[in-house]
Structure 1
Amino acid sequence: MIRLDARRINASTVGDYSWYSDLVYFDGPLICLFRGSGYKDALYVWLDNSERANRWCLIPVSRSTLDSYLNQRMSLREIIQSSEYTYICNHYAETGRKNYSILHVDSFPDEYMPDEDSYLYEEICTDDALLLKQERTSSYMLGLDNQLFINDLSVIPKVFEQLYSFHYGLAHLGRLSIRNTMLRLMGNWTGGISAVNIFSGLKSVIPVLHRPEISSLQYNSPGHIELNLLPDLAQSVQDASVRVENELIYDRLEKMYKNTYTYFREHGLSGFDEDGGIEIRNIDNDTTEICVSV
């Protein structure tokens, strides 16, 4: 592999990123999307390999930059050239060890620089990448009305974020990274307080690209919080909220939950095991009818 004019750093310096999906795949992943815990996601790009290791480049990208790349308004080359620096990761397959270094973009080798035409064309996209191209965020007004106290200003966005995260997880179960997170969280389900852990844990599955971003605030009554997010998910949250606002429906849902929880616990079905493990079992029609009877 090419010798780089880079400085070794600790993994903690890179930041907290986790794999979300592969964008380009040919005999192995070539470009991946990593979700970030801060204000940026990252593109993880394969560069080179030796007999012992694969070399990758991690490029933190803002929400707008990633959107431009997904929609072919910006090439991979332009993203690298517009960055101040990139992170280099040498991944040693045999031991699993990873060495990180930081490389100033001025020292980025020409041999590794993508072509000028390095756009994310549909012809090279994975199925996940094509879906990401189709998912466009837009403006949504979260209404505020009636008397508001200072604690409401933190509670309202928090509850909305939890519901949005839950609906995001359900809507994206086809993505392996999200499905694995859902299985892990549901495997620890014991009812009660663990429900809070599920909602908070699901926040980690959403890339910065799709997180609700505040566009404007107006706190007077009636007021609003203007958010930029996935509109279909916001509508799902709104529909569910309107549904449970009806007292009769809420009581029936609560009764159904208790009956379902009791039945699952008594029969040792997945998600309610004492050891928190996940066991896949087939549930027949008779079982389904018993669970939903209220």
Structure 2
Amino acid sequence: MEHLRIIPHSIYELFHLRRVGNLLYFEGPLLSLFKEKGGVHFYLFDWVDSSQDANRWLIYRVSIQSISDFLDKKISHLELFKNRNLDKIYVVDISRGNESFYDYQAYELQQLPANYLPNADNFFEPSDSPDLEAIKVAIALSKQKAV
């Protein structure tokens, strides 16, 4: 895996997030949508790298509108990433033996390796999302609360 430069004291606790569903799944989750428990913010866990022992994920906040645009194929995966709500990007390495995201801490990246950027040609494909209905319901409920 890439050697990363992180901001050591900028920790993001993952226990307050709940999984909504997988936007992209191929032999395991590759792009997963999470929401704050009791909150309004959505976060993406974006798989970027692996080793023999762990999978590496980028974590970033996204807006309801950007998620909707991605699902409607109006924007690519790269545009979804670039449209994130905050400049902060967190990274977490999760042991291959532990399927739970909740016991980990993520650290803010100082600099994102170029090869971790999503591909501009990647657009959402409904057949790659086993949880599409649950995701649509979560987005619709969040939109109703925002009104």
Q: Give the TM-score taking structure 1 as reference length.
A: 0.42
Q: Identify the residue that residue 81 of structure 2 maps to in structure 1.
A: 80
Structure-2 separation of matches of 1:112 and 1:10: 20
Structure-1 separation of matches of 2:116 and 2:33: 19
SS at match of 2:116: coil
Structure 1 residues 214 and 4: CA distance shift in structure 2, 3 A:
closer
Q: Identify the residue that residue 58 of structure 1 maps to in structure 2.
A: 59
Structure-1 separation of matches of 2:145 and 2:16: 20
8 Å CA contact 2:70–2:77 kept in 1: the answer is yes
SS at match of 2:58: strand
Structure 1 residues 15 and 7: CA distance shift in structure 2, 3 A:
farther
Structure 1 residues 26 and 73: CA distance shift in structure 2, 3 A:
same
Q: CA RMSD in A?
A: 2.6
Structure-2 separation of matches of 1:4 and 1:73: 32
Q: Identify the residue that residue 117 of structure 1 maps to in structure 2.
A: 121
Structure-1 separation of matches of 2:146 and 2:81: 27
Within 5 Å, give how 1:133-212 maps onto structure 2. Answer: 135=136, 207=138, 209-211=140-142, 212=144
8 Å CA contact 2:78–2:118 kept in 1: the answer is yes
Over the matched positions of the two proteins, sequence identity in percent amounts to 22
Q: Identify the residue that residue 90 of structure 1 maps to in structure 2.
A: 93
Q: Which residue identity lines up with residue 52 of structure 1 in the other structure?
A: D
Any gaps of 5 or more consecutive residues in structure 2?
A: none
Within 5 Å, give how 1:215-294 maps onto structure 2. Answer: 215=147
Q: Identify the residue that residue 126 of structure 1 maps to in structure 2.
A: 129
1:42 aligns with 2:48: no
Q: Identify the residue that residue 101 of structure 1 maps to in structure 2.
A: 107
Structure-1 separation of matches of 2:140 and 2:109: 25
1:6 Cα deviation (Å)?
Answer: 1.9
Structure (1 or 2) with the greater strand fraction: 2
Structure-2 separation of matches of 1:73 and 1:132: 20
Highest relative contact order (Cα 8 Å, sep 6+), 1 or 2? 2
Please list the CA deviations of residues 199-219 of structure 1 after superposition, one character each: whole Å capped at 9, or x if unmatched. Answer: xxxxxxx7455232243xxxx
Structure 1 residues 116 and 51: CA distance shift in structure 2, 3 A:
same
SS at match of 1:213: helix
Higher Rg: 1
Structure-2 separation of matches of 1:43 and 1:52: 22
Q: Give the TM-score taking structure 2 as reference length.
A: 0.78
1:77 Cα deviation (Å)?
Answer: 0.9
Any gaps of 5 or more consecutive residues in structure 1?
A: 136-205, 216-294
1:30 Cα deviation (Å)?
Answer: 0.8
SS at match of 1:127: coil
Please list the CA deviations of residues 10-61 of structure 1 after superposition, one character each: whole Å capped at 9, or x if unmatched. Answer: 343x672111212211111111111223221111111111122110111211
Structure-2 separation of matches of 1:132 and 1:71: 16
Q: Identify the residue that residue 69 of structure 1 maps to in structure 2.
A: 70
1:21 aligns with 2:27: no
Structure 1 residues 99 and 127: CA distance shift in structure 2, 3 A:
closer
